[in-house]
Amino acid sequence: MDSILLKKQLRREAIEKRQTLHAELQETAPEQFAKLFFDFFDLKNDDVIAGFSTIRSEASVEKILLKALAQNLTCALPVVVDQDVPLIFRKWAPETEMTGNTYGILEPVKYAPQTTPTYILVPCLYFTAQGHRLGYGGGFYDRTLDLYKDTTTSILVNYAGLEIDELPLESTDISVDYILTEKEIRKAGS
């Protein structure tokens, strides 16, 4: 089976599995994500934490963002600019005006200030111990992680039950630096 067909099959499988895990963990996992994140990273006053607007049954990073704001850190959310370009990040707080993009994902409106993240929290469907991830197929995070790879720490956030041994990879697939689940945070590849 070629990698495109295999990825489509894996996406369907992961969405189904994630829905089951989400039903079990949606109440407790977000607190665990936040606790593990803040216990692990030594955050500075000028750090910018970029989260994501949760869609479908994605693991929520809202508790991380709210805790960061409570510590007077800056938070941001990704914005889709165009089909084949990296995401940009605009400042976010609960009162930020949001709008749905082409994919129905909420993002800060155009006049929200743009910022550069120190940490990027990355969603996915499946992931591997090496930090490879299977997304929805648009390549937005791969292009973004490639752009920021030397200046930003990337952290995949997902339920532990969605880790698999291997994924079909392409030359454009970019791995993350860390993996955060409801059970642990660890350096990718360890």
Domain parsing of the chain, residue ranges: 3-187
Q: For 98-149, what is each residue's pLDDT tens digit?
A: 988 988 899 999 989 999 999 999 999 999 999 999 999 889 999 999 999 9
Based on its alpha-carbon atoms, the radius of gyration of the chain, rounded to whole angstroms, reads: 16
CATH node for 3-187: 3.40.50.10420
From the list 120, 115, 129, the residue with the least C-alpha distance to 148 is: 120
3-state secondary structure of 134: strand
pLDDT > 90 in the chain, percent: 87
Q: Please give the distance of CA 64 from its chain centroid, rounded to a whole number.
A: 12
Q: For 151-183, what is each residue's pLDDT tens digit?
A: 999 999 999 999 999 999 988 999 999 999 999
Where residue 1 falls among pLDDT bands split at 50, 70, 90? low
Residues 20, 63, 154, 177, Cα dihedral to 10°? -70
